[in-house]
Amino acid sequence: MAKAVLTPQAANFPAWYQDVVARAELAETGPVRGSMVVRPWGYAIWELMQADMDRRIKATGAVNAAFPMFIPMSFLEKEQEHVDGFSPELAVVTHGGGEELAEPLAVRPTSETVVNHYFARWVQSHRDLPLMLNLWNSVVRWELRPRLFLRTTEFLWQEGHTAHATREEAVEETRRMLEVYRRFMEETLAISVVTGEKSPGERFAGAEHTYTCEALMRDGKALQMGTSHDLGHNFARAFDIRFSDAEGEHRHAATTSWGTSTRMIGGVIMVHGDDHGLRLPPAIAPHQVVVLQLDEEAEVAAAAARLEADLRGAGVRAHLDARTHTSFGRRSVDWELKGVPVRIELGARELVSGRATLVRRDDRSKTSAPLDGAARAAVALLDEIQDGLLAASRTFREEHTHPVTDLDEFTARVGEGGLFLAAWSGAEESERVLGERTGATIRCLVDAEPPAPTCLVTGEPARHTVLLGRAY
Amino acid sequence: MAKAVLTPQAANFPAWYQDVVARAELAETGPVRGSMVVRPWGYAIWELMQADMDRRIKATGAVNAAFPMFIPMSFLEKEQEHVDGFSPELAVVTHGGGEELAEPLAVRPTSETVVNHYFARWVQSHRDLPLMLNLWNSVVRWELRPRLFLRTTEFLWQEGHTAHATREEAVEETRRMLEVYRRFMEETLAISVVTGEKSPGERFAGAEHTYTCEALMRDGKALQMGTSHDLGHNFARAFDIRFSDAEGEHRHAATTSWGTSTRMIGGVIMVHGDDHGLRLPPAIAPHQVVVLQLDEEAEVAAAAARLEADLRGAGVRAHLDARTHTSFGRRSVDWELKGVPVRIELGARELVSGRATLVRRDDRSKTSAPLDGAARAAVALLDEIQDGLLAASRTFREEHTHPVTDLDEFTARVGEGGLFLAAWSGAEESERVLGERTGATIRCLVDAEPPAPTCLVTGEPARHTVLLGRAY
């Protein structure tokens, strides 16, 4: 048995998380506080997520573009709530080309302002609408308590920005993208999420409505995995995005924005990971199957290469590990740490028996298959693993979601972790009280009967059912 | 006939360039001086270039990663020549999170310093080498005379960084990547390039040797399209990248870097464009074929949709333009401006005759093909166009490359444009004299017999043959 290389989750979940990120070679702390170096294994996961998400976004009719990272401070100030929301987080460029700049520049914390500035130039007629853009870039928000992938000063993401003729269409777009995100998270990341509207206290600065995807991590804390914002006419008014409608009337467009980031990698780690390391859903595994060549004999090497070719022929991202001079234990521990879904062990013994050993990463169970059927057996396992991880994520979330009707009971139980359903009056002040008393926040409003007739916090008549929890 | 929408190339090439960039909706000036918004058509071209280049880079064994955009100033200062080279171009962040920073941060002008800092952590043994990374990101170099795609304060690019056990391996990598670039430019961009070493005056700050791909634009000016740098032990010494070799001796690694950027889009515009707009090589055309539906009748719409499906079935990026309420002239001019390689016109008349009209963008010639053979005919045209553009680029470059043996003659002729082959002594001072007298630079050293026994500038014995020209 290889000795444990990670702090166990039960002993110290944050230490386990740091260990996995380091040992699976996903990322490292950057040289500037809060910044991050995404190492090749982490970046390969991101590339697969990007490619999948990009296809889904383009299927909605949006197209990609690029906008500058430097934004004049005056742009940010045009939408008051927006500048208030981002001011304390900005990185500011004051010098360029060896001189002090006349106007300081913000490094984009998000691109609503600059995109909507250009929307105003590009949108003249109703025939220019809808205008649907997506950007893949990185943004900067100064972080005092950084954590790799979850909260870093600079992070990689996609940000969508759209303009529509009517509020109705913009709301429809906001919800469509929330659904695109939900399906991506479930189908690709194998993470079950709750979707719903954010409360006013958690809304994006400048939005009329913010919708979110919330997932439950294995330590019982919630993680916001993606958001979609109905910006109403706020940015269109601030940046003067007007179009002439079919009757020749000039009207303001309605805009939206929506984003997901490398934070989702943090979610994948904390939803699927176990005490042996990462467990990657096959859809985003850079190597879906590793063929572990156990002996250096030419016949073994040939059989291992043949199996790798079979797997590739079957559309599998296969990798042949022929490092026979490195110990079996070290190699198998490494691939477990890195979360490779299936490992196939193939040595002289397997050649004699005519059967290879397949090891699943999810439950670490072993099966064997005839050499010429091993690729097919691996493909079947990959499907099972992808489905199994999602099912486990859904079961875990459901089993750790509880209705609560009494604030004292909630305060006592919130430390156990998990999500809680409660009745809420909708009073903004109660959000603050809730946070101060329990450390929990309203993750989102959900479409369900309130578990009590009166608000958990204020005792006023219940107007909403909310999902509560402590969050990253 | 549609009237000319662009300034003719012969009348004013820079104005023509600006017109094409604007009218083909490739890019716009950003809100901050020197910055750029890449619009969807320009970005779609970039995405195709990226995907193709990314495959080629990965085929060499390099893998992708991401590094932070903020670099401590002290990192840049570790390699003296490097900091001297970039200091006047830096954008500097002095404030973050509402406070003045203790150490100002440079926005990366290129990532050698931060990447080599991490190489020093990751490289311990000869078994860790070679280490080959590639980054897709944007970098910032303050530009006082910006020009879209060619020279912008922020630009999109890829930067490769590798570390090797020996100088020989590093030199081999530098040349391998130069060859990857050359083949990409010829096979994908259909641009014929000259490759060679840069003279000391044009070398990358901190490199031992810089190799370049140089192309000739239609106005007779040269464009540097990509560079590959042998960094020797310079960065390894500055950042202390050492490894223990097979004998246990500690030695410095040798490193390289290499990069190409959105500047190549400027090259595509200026090598292939004509007075009707862009001419895109099929390999990077977002729409390779546009089916122009001429009439709105249901049968025409059905036939056009069928043709689009045929084309997609044949692996063609096809687009159906069914905007029958927009004039034929405007639509055909638009697709010519945007450089779509083949346009297929299909209306009621074509349905009657059973033949569609195919229009090539390169020579604007028309042919016709039976409706059920139109997709096959278009595929054949795409191959011809890709090959023809490369051949034309090669011919143009060759016909505009002249040997010169006399400085006065060169000074008189350099204004005509084109490239010139000359004998050079290798004396650094002569590069300055050459520039001041002629406005030309040494584009690169080439592997050919000098056209004269003595240096064009100094009259000293010739040691190299150099390619001269005025450049972007």
Comparing CA positions, the residue from A153, A189, A141, A145 lying closest to residue A393 is A189
Asked if A422 contacts A403 with a C-beta cutoff of 8 angstroms, the reply is: yes
Say yes or no for a CB contact (<8 Å) between A90 and B70: no
The predicted model gives B131-144 an average pLDDT of 96
Is residue A2 predicted with pLDDT exceeding 70?
Answer: no
pLDDT at residue A239 tops 60:
yes
Which among A32, A69, A142 has the least Cβ separation from residue B72? A32
Interface residue of A37, A108, A121, A154 to substitute, partner B, most B CBs within 10 Å: A37
B254 interfacial to chain A (CB closer than 8 Å): no
Where a domain ends, among B324, B358, B385?
B385
Chain B, 143-202: which have a CB under 8 Å from a chain A CB? 143-144, 153-154, 156
B380 touches chain A (CB under 8 A): no
- Position B463 in a domain: yes
Same domain, A168 and A250: yes
Q: What residues form DSSP beta bridges with A131?
A: A163
DSSP string for A318-330: EEEE--TTS-HHH
Q: Is B309 on the interface with A (CB under 8 A)?
A: no
Cα angle B164, B168, B172 (rounded to 5 degrees) comes to: 85
For residue A164, being part of any structural domain is answered with: yes
Class of residue A386 by CB neighbours under 10 A (exposed 0-12, middle 13-18, buried 19+): buried
Q: Hey, are the CB atoms on B91 and A95 less than 8 Å from each other?
A: yes
| Residue A307 distance to chain B (closest CA, Å) | 21
Determine the Cα–Cα distance for residues A300 and B277; give it in Å rounded to an integer.
59
| pLDDT, mean of residues B384-394 | 98
CA gap B300, B153 in Å, rounded: 48
List, in order, residues 6 or more apart from A462 with CB less than 8 Å away. Answer: A423, A424, A425, A450, A452, A453, A454, A455
DSSP state of A186: I
Residue B48 sits in the same domain as residue B194: yes
> Which of B67, B92, B114 lies at the smallest CB-CB distance from A93?
B92
Q: What is the pLDDT of residues B220-265, one digit of tens each?
A: 999 999 999 999 999 999 999 999 999 999 999 999 999 999 999 9
> Distance from A425 to chain B by nearest Cα, in Å?
35
Q: Are residues A75 and A189 in the same domain?
A: yes
pLDDT attached to residue B1: 41
CA B18/CA B37 separation, integer angstroms: 14
Question: How distant is the Cα of A44 from the closest Cα of chain B, in angstroms?
Answer: 7
**Within-domain flag for B395:** no
Check pLDDT > 70 for residue A4: no
Instruction: Give residue-wise pLDDT tens across range A144-161.
Output: 899 999 999 999 999 999
- CA-CA distances (angstroms) from residue B132 to A358, B120, B412? 31, 14, 46
Q: Same domain, yes or no, for A100 and A119?
A: yes
pLDDT tens-digit map of A244-282: 999 999 999 999 999 999 999 999 999 999 999 999 999
The total number of structural domains in chain B stands at 3
Element (DSSP H or E) covering residue A416? none
Give the model confidence (pLDDT) of A318-371 as tens digits. Answer: 999 999 999 999 999 999 999 999 999 999 999 999 999 999 999 999 999 999
CB A247 within 8 A of CB A254: no
Q: Is there a domain that residue A6 lies in?
A: no
pLDDT, averaged across chain A: 96
Regarding whether A27 and A105 lie in a shared domain, the answer is: yes
Q: For position B321, what pLDDT does the model report? A: 98
**Distance (Å) from the C-alpha of residue A152 to the closest C-alpha of chain B?**
10
A365-405 confidence digits (pLDDT tens): 999 999 999 999 999 999 999 999 999 999 999 999 999 99
From B30, B64, B67, residue closest to A68, measured CB to CB: B30
Residue A415's contacts (CB-CB under 8 Å, 6 or more residues apart) are none
Q: State which amino acid sits at residue B343.
A: R
pLDDT band per the 50, 70, 90 thresholds, residue B447: very high
Residues A73 and A125 in one domain: yes
pLDDT digits (tens, 9 = 90+) for A108-147: 999 999 999 999 999 999 999 999 999 999 999 999 899 9
Tokens linked to B57: 């880079």
CATH number at residue B201: 3.30.930.10
A383 and A405 housed in the same domain? no
Is pLDDT above 90 for B169? yes
Report, as an integer, the average pLDDT of B166-171.
98
Q: What is the pLDDT of residues B395-444, one digit of tens each?
A: 999 999 999 999 999 999 999 999 999 999 999 899 999 999 999 999 99
Q: Measuring CA to CA, which residue among A36, A102, A76 is closest to residue B70?
A: A36
- B144 contacts in A (CB within 8 Å)? 97
pLDDT at site A1:
41
Q: Is residue A7 one of the residues assigned to a domain?
A: no
pLDDT confidence of residue A49: 98
Task: Take residue A148 and report the two structure tokens written for it.
Answer: 């790799």
Q: Given a cut of 80, is residue B4 above it in pLDDT?
A: no
The residue out of B272, B296, B331 marking a domain boundary is B272
Specify whether A369 is located in the same domain as A414.
Answer: no
The residue segments making up the domain with residue A227 are: 13-272
State the CATH number of the domain containing residue A319.
3.40.50.800
A179 phi and psi angles, rounded to 5 deg: -70, -35
pLDDT of residue B3 exceeding 60, the answer is: no
For residue A28, list chain B residues with Cβ-Cβ distance below 8 A: 118, 121
- Determine contact: A118 vs chain B, CB below 8 A: yes
Q: Which of B32, B97, B117 lies nearest to residue A105, judging by beta carbons? A: B32
Interatomic CA distance for residues A340 and B427, integer angstroms? 57
User: Chain A partners of B104 at a C-beta cutoff of 8 Å?
Assistant: 95
Task: Please state, in angstroms and as integers, the Cα–Cα distance from residue A257 to each residue in A108, A113, A178, following that order.
Answer: 15, 11, 11
CB-based burial, B267-278: b 16+ in 10 Å, e otherwise: bbbbbbbbebbb
Q: Which of B89, B114, B137 comes nearest A97 by C-beta?
A: B89
- What does pLDDT average to over chain B? 96
Tell me: do A268 and A387 sit in the same domain: no
Same domain, B324 and B248: no
The pLDDT of B76-95, averaged and rounded, is 92
Between chains, do B90 and A96 touch, taking CB under 8 Å as contact? yes
CB proximity under 8 Å: B 449-468 to A: none
B-chain residues near A71 (CB < 8 A): 31-32
Cβ contacts (< 8 Å) between B38 and chain A: which residues? 65-66
CB contact under 8 A, B31 and A68: yes
- Chain A interface, best mutation among B54, B71, B92, by max A CB count within 10 A: B92
Q: What pLDDT is attached to residue A3?
A: 54
Q: How many residues does chain A have?
A: 472
Shortest alpha-carbon distance between residue A378 and chain B (Å): 26
CA B307/CA B375 separation, integer angstroms: 7
Segment (H or E) for A452: none
Domain assignment present for B394: no
The answer to which of A37-46, A77-86, A438-447 has the lowest mean pLDDT is: A77-86
A305 and A358 housed in the same domain: yes
Q: Give the count of beta carbons closer than 10 Å to the beta carbon of residue B402.
A: 16
Same domain, B196 and B141: yes
Question: Which A residues, 64 through 93, put their C-beta within 8 Å of a C-beta on chain B?
Answer: 64-72, 75, 87-93
pLDDT in tens, A69-89: 999 999 999 988 888 888 899
Tell me the pLDDT tens digit for each residue of A289-313.
999 999 999 999 999 999 999 999 9
pLDDT score of B428: 87
B40 found inside a domain: yes
**CB within 8 Å of B207: residues ≥ 6 apart:** B229, B230, B231, B232, B234
Q: Find chain B residues with C-beta within 8 A of A38's C-beta.
A: 65-66
Query: Quick check: is B391 in a domain?
Result: no
Which of A47, A49, A90, A107 would you mutate first to test chain B, the one with the most B CBs within 10 A? Answer: A107
